[in-house]
Chains A and B, each alone.
Chain A
Amino acid sequence: MSQSKPLSLHVPEPTGRPGCKTDFSYLQLSPAGAIRRPPIDVAPLDTSDIATGLIRVLDENGDAVGPWAPEVEPELLRFGLRTMMKTRIFDARMVIAQRQKKMSFYMLSLGEEALGTAQALALEDGDMHFPTYRQQSLLIAKQVPLVEMICQLLSNEKDPLKGRQLPVMYSVRRAGFFTISGNLATQYPQAVGWAMASAIKGDTKIASAWIGDGATAESDFSTALTFAHVYRAPVILNVVNNQWAISTFQAIAGGESVTFATRGIGSGIASLRVDGNDFLAVLSASRWAAERARSNLGPTLIEWVTYRAGPHSTSDDPSRYRPADDFQHFPLGDPVARLRQYLTKQGWWSDEENDRVQAELEAEVLAAQKEAESYGILGDERAPSAATMFEDVYKEMPEHLRRQRQELGV
């Protein structure tokens, strides 16, 4: 008869808390160029090694190496760098605007700019992204006017969503950007359904689903994987593993001793794990997954390993749960700096150009902000009319909403 010891509950903890240094050895990194590039018709289970490895193209010297190094025009990469810089500048300005109480709330994407930017360039017009609240780089890469975005943030008279939505919850159908919901993970099965619809109609469009590491714990995540696998839906299932869900380290989401990419393998979905701060790797892996989907070969799950460099939102203070200098130690560095290093080394970018572009973009964002603010800021008289509050609940306004609108006297 064996001696039973008392059981104990395991509660994962990050190694780094305020005042300590994070031990990033848990990340399971691979050297640039080390991971093979399978054919797009690879059997899902045959991507198991890639789901635990890490696809990287840019090495420490800023050279593009290995089988995933994409063939890409310098102009596209220069556009990519500009877009990432623009996203970062936009975020920084909007945080200031929030602090100035011009808007109630903001969420920046510092450190994650490569993801939306490169994937937008890998997909085509007509494809539909089902983003979370941290893929504003998609909109900026699609060249959606900044004024329009800021009007949404300000909930002013030109807010395309008529003041109904919290800031950042954009909806831009013409840019292939699905309406953002506050409810996490819901867009994941919706993206699969959209992709199924494209397949049902014999279309050639594909869908791209986005989720964070924390939200993979929502039931809609596994549901989406099941449906995508069962119906071989033409969808890219992006998991942005930025290591943090507000204050919660990714281990609490189920990331301890396992990668999120392997969840795809277990569901029968070809899965890649990719350096999310390596613009060339993001572009290349996104192209691979898009081609696979468009060739009717089925879904791909991609775990993007990155780091949420900023606070979760303007309502969050990360210094209360993680080291203040964590991002400086993150082994995959800064996506903007890494692409800049590569382009500079190729002779496609220079310090002078960088300074000039930085100044241009800052002026562009500032001008857009000024124009947007001329249409009103949160809480001033140029808000969308209260009468519009009752519209679009249904296609036609039903009788009870007409009565309620009259009751409000508008």
Chain B
Amino acid sequence: MARDDQPKDTATMPMTMIQALRSAMDVMMERDDNVVVYGQDVGYFGGVFRVTDGLQAKYGKSRVFDAPISEGGIVGTAVGMAAYGLRPVVEIQFADYFYPATDQIVSEAARLRYRSAGEFTASMVIRMPCGGGIYGGQTHSQSPEAFFTHVCGLRTVMPSNPYDAKGLLISSIENDDPVIFLEPKRLYNGPFDGHHDRPVVPWSGHALGNVPTGHYTVPLDKANIVRPGNDVTVLAYGTMVWVSEAAARESGVDAEVIDLRSIWPLDLDTIVDSVKKTGRCVIVHEATRTSGFGAELAALVQEHCFYQLEAPIERVTGWDTPYPHAQEWAYFPGPDRVAAALKRTMEGR
């Protein structure tokens, strides 16, 4: 995999996505006194997923601290801190619980710069573990990215591996716009291609788990072609990148798998170039289908690649139901469903 953005002179070490995210915050807190980190269980305890482990001990309680269970309060105070000039990096424990903060995210963080003509800005990051495939049931599995991509003024980002997680999080913290940073918790400890019946592989055995210890960035608004191919373009992000790669392997279809990384604003050029080359497109996301982000992707591809398309654009997504518990693997868009879509697309349906 080509890593044109990888620094040449930085020491690396094996990291899980959890450790990579923690390292990103560590690096940024070291470099910038204005970076503060808080959220529920984030301080002393180090986070329910260990992503902030040790940060309070290192930087003190005024930089890393526990917050009341109030998503609206966490985001609302962060907007005020950002207006003062800090760079808050706040955590919502599960993406499923961002809803109480919706007003602060949509009406405030996203609009602050616009409505004040740049007098006040909300340079802040809202981290949220997201995604399913962990028997999380209805409120520990959701993928709400489409709620955010619909909001003008927000950036929505989702990494798929430790290297990108750290580089994208550092870019997000340094960015002057509000960033919704979605972390697929299914990928926290190792890649997952949807084969739940196989043993989990840790990141330590993977090249992308080898992460520079210092400062580096992965640019926002730039997609990554994780598997070059000629037959069909697969647009995916988060866990679905790994599922899509597995599906390409197993279907025998020479699919070009693109990891969007930045969901919105996105890297339209990479998408359009690829679809113009392949003439086919399959969109894969865990989120429910109707009005999901796949709909926007399909529309963009249709608008920009209409004359090159040789088959209808396919969407492989979560069903239009709440995320179930017992029916986890019937719901989760696994490699078989993606492979079937790849084959259908190659047949022109």
- Chain A contacts to B: CB under 8 angstroms: 128, 130, 160-162, 164-165, 169, 171-173, 178-179, 181-183, 186, 188-201, 207, 219-220, 223-224, 226-227, 230, 392-395, 398-400
Tell me which of A189, A200, A224, A399 contacts B265 (CB under 8 A). Answer: A399
- B107 lies within 8 A of chain A by Cβ: yes
- B83 lies within 8 A of chain A by Cβ: yes
Asked whether, in the complex, the Cβ of B120 is within 8 Å of the Cβ of A179, the reply is yes
Having A192-B80, A392-B113, one finds 15 other A-B pairs with CB under 8 Å, namely A165-B115, A171-B119, A179-B115, A179-B119, A181-B107, A190-B76, A192-B77, A194-B81, A194-B83, A197-B81, A198-B84, A199-B62, A227-B70, A395-B113, A398-B221
Residue of A nearest to B72 (CB): A223
Asked whether, in the complex, the Cβ of A197 is within 8 Å of the Cβ of B121, the reply is no
Asked whether, in the complex, the Cβ of A164 is within 8 Å of the Cβ of B79, the reply is no
Q: For residue A132, give the distance in angstroms from its CB to the closest CB of chain B.
A: 14
Q: A164-B114, A393-B153 are in contact. Are A190 and B80 (CB under 8 A)?
A: yes
Q: For residue A21, give the distance in angstroms from its CB to the closest CB of chain B.
A: 39
Asked whether, in the complex, the Cβ of A161 is within 8 Å of the Cβ of B117, the reply is yes
By a CB distance below 8 angstroms, the chain B residues around A224 are: 73, 76
Asked whether, in the complex, the Cβ of A193 is within 8 Å of the Cβ of B81, the reply is yes
User: Which of B70, B80, B221 has the most CB atoms of chain A within a 10 A radius of its CB?
Assistant: B80
By a CB distance below 8 angstroms, the chain A residues around B72 are: 189, 219-220, 223
Asked whether, in the complex, the Cβ of B119 is within 8 Å of the Cβ of A219, the reply is no
| CA–CA, A188 and B80, complex, Å | 9
Q: For residue A403, give the distance in angstroms from its CB to the closest CB of chain B.
A: 9
Q: A186-B76, A220-B103, A395-B113 are in contact. Are A173 and B120 (CB under 8 A)?
A: yes
| CA–CA, A194 and B117, complex, Å | 19
Q: A171-B117, A173-B120 are in contact. Are A194 and B84 (CB under 8 A)?
A: yes
By a CB distance below 8 angstroms, the chain B residues around A200 are: 36, 62-63, 81, 86
Asked whether, in the complex, the Cβ of B76 is within 8 Å of the Cβ of A223, the reply is yes
Asked whether, in the complex, the Cβ of A171 is within 8 Å of the Cβ of B120, the reply is yes
Q: A183-B108, A394-B177 are in contact. Are A193 and B77 (CB under 8 A)?
A: yes
The B110-140 residues at the A interface (CB cut-off 8 A) are: 111-121
Q: For residue A271, give the distance in angstroms from its CB to the closest CB of chain B.
A: 19
Asked whether, in the complex, the Cβ of A171 is within 8 Å of the Cβ of B76, the reply is no
| CA–CA, A88 and B258, complex, Å | 61
Asked whether, in the complex, the Cβ of B86 is within 8 Å of the Cβ of A190, the reply is no
Q: A227-B73, A393-B114 are in contact. Are A398 and B265 (CB under 8 A)?
A: yes
Q: For residue A204, give the distance in angstroms from its CB to the closest CB of chain B.
A: 13
Asked whether, in the complex, the Cβ of A400 is within 8 Å of the Cβ of B265, the reply is yes
9 A-B pairs closest in CB distance: A193-B80, A189-B76, A193-B77, A190-B80, A197-B84, A179-B116, A194-B80, A223-B73, A171-B116
| CA–CA, A193 and B108, complex, Å | 13
Asked whether, in the complex, the Cβ of B76 is within 8 Å of the Cβ of A162, the reply is no
Asked whether, in the complex, the Cβ of B80 is within 8 Å of the Cβ of A189, the reply is yes
- Chain B contacts to A: CB under 8 angstroms: 36, 62-63, 67-68, 70, 72-73, 76-81, 83-86, 88, 100, 103-104, 107-108, 111-121, 152-153, 155, 175-177, 221, 265, 268
Residue of B nearest to A171 (CB): B116
Asked whether, in the complex, the Cβ of A392 is within 8 Å of the Cβ of B73, the reply is no
| CA–CA, A173 and B117, complex, Å | 11
By a CB distance below 8 angstroms, the chain B residues around A181 are: 107-108, 111, 115
User: Which of A161, A172, A199, A227 has the most CB atoms of chain B within a 10 A radius of its CB?
Assistant: A227
| CA–CA, A213 and B242, complex, Å | 52
User: Which of B83, B85, B111 has the most CB atoms of chain A within a 10 A radius of its CB?
Assistant: B83
Asked whether, in the complex, the Cβ of B80 is within 8 Å of the Cβ of A191, the reply is yes
Q: For residue B148, give the distance in angstroms from its CB to the closest CB of chain A.
A: 14
By a CB distance below 8 angstroms, the chain B residues around A227 are: 67-68, 70, 73, 77
| CA–CA, A375 and B339, complex, Å | 62
| CA–CA, A130 and B88, complex, Å | 19
Residue of A nearest to B108 (CB): A186
By a CB distance below 8 angstroms, the chain A residues around B121 are: 395
Residue of A nearest to B154 (CB): A394
By a CB distance below 8 angstroms, the chain B residues around A219 are: 72, 100
| CA–CA, A171 and B68, complex, Å | 30
Residue of A nearest to B66 (CB): A230
Tell me which of B70, B79, B86, B117 contacts A162 (CB under 8 A). Answer: B117
Q: For residue B174, give the distance in angstroms from its CB to the closest CB of chain A.
A: 11
Tell me which of A171, A220, A223 contacts B115 (CB under 8 A). Answer: A171
| CA–CA, A186 and B106, complex, Å | 11
| CA–CA, A181 and B103, complex, Å | 11
| CA–CA, A230 and B119, complex, Å | 29
Q: A200-B36, A200-B86, A393-B114 are in contact. Are A183 and B119 (CB under 8 A)?
A: no
| CA–CA, A182 and B111, complex, Å | 11
Residue of A nearest to B110 (CB): A393
By a CB distance below 8 angstroms, the chain B residues around A130 are: 80
By a CB distance below 8 angstroms, the chain A residues around B62 are: 199-200
Asked whether, in the complex, the Cβ of B104 is within 8 Å of the Cβ of A186, the reply is yes
Q: For residue B39, give the distance in angstroms from its CB to the closest CB of chain A.
A: 13
Residue of B nearest to A179 (CB): B116
Can you list 15 A-B contacts (CB < 8 A)? A171-B116, A181-B107, A192-B76, A192-B80, A195-B80, A197-B81, A200-B63, A200-B81, A201-B84, A220-B76, A220-B103, A220-B104, A395-B121, A395-B175, A395-B176
Tell me which of B70, B175, B177 contacts A223 (CB under 8 A). Answer: B70
By a CB distance below 8 angstroms, the chain A residues around B116 are: 161, 171, 173, 179
Asked whether, in the complex, the Cβ of A226 is within 8 Å of the Cβ of B103, the reply is no
By a CB distance below 8 angstroms, the chain A residues around B119 are: 171-173, 179
| CA–CA, A191 and B104, complex, Å | 13
Q: For residue A159, give the distance in angstroms from its CB to the closest CB of chain B.
A: 9
| CA–CA, A43 and B152, complex, Å | 45
Residue of B nearest to A185 (CB): B103
Q: For residue B158, give the distance in angstroms from its CB to the closest CB of chain A.
A: 17
User: Which of B76, B79, B88, B108 has the most CB atoms of chain A within a 10 A radius of its CB?
Assistant: B76
Q: For residue B265, give the distance in angstroms from its CB to the closest CB of chain A.
A: 4
| CA–CA, A178 and B86, complex, Å | 16
By a CB distance below 8 angstroms, the chain B residues around A191 are: 80
Tell me which of B77, B111, B117, B153 contacts A190 (CB under 8 A). Answer: B77
Tell me which of B77, B103, B153, B176 contacts A183 (CB under 8 A). Answer: B103
By a CB distance below 8 angstroms, the chain B residues around A199 are: 62
Tell me which of A190, A207, A399 contacts B79 (CB under 8 A). Answer: A190
Tell me which of A164, A207, A226 contacts B117 (CB under 8 A). Answer: A164
Q: For residue A67, give the distance in angstroms from its CB to the closest CB of chain B.
A: 33
| CA–CA, A230 and B221, complex, Å | 38
Q: For residue B302, give the distance in angstroms from its CB to the closest CB of chain A.
A: 15
| CA–CA, A128 and B62, complex, Å | 21
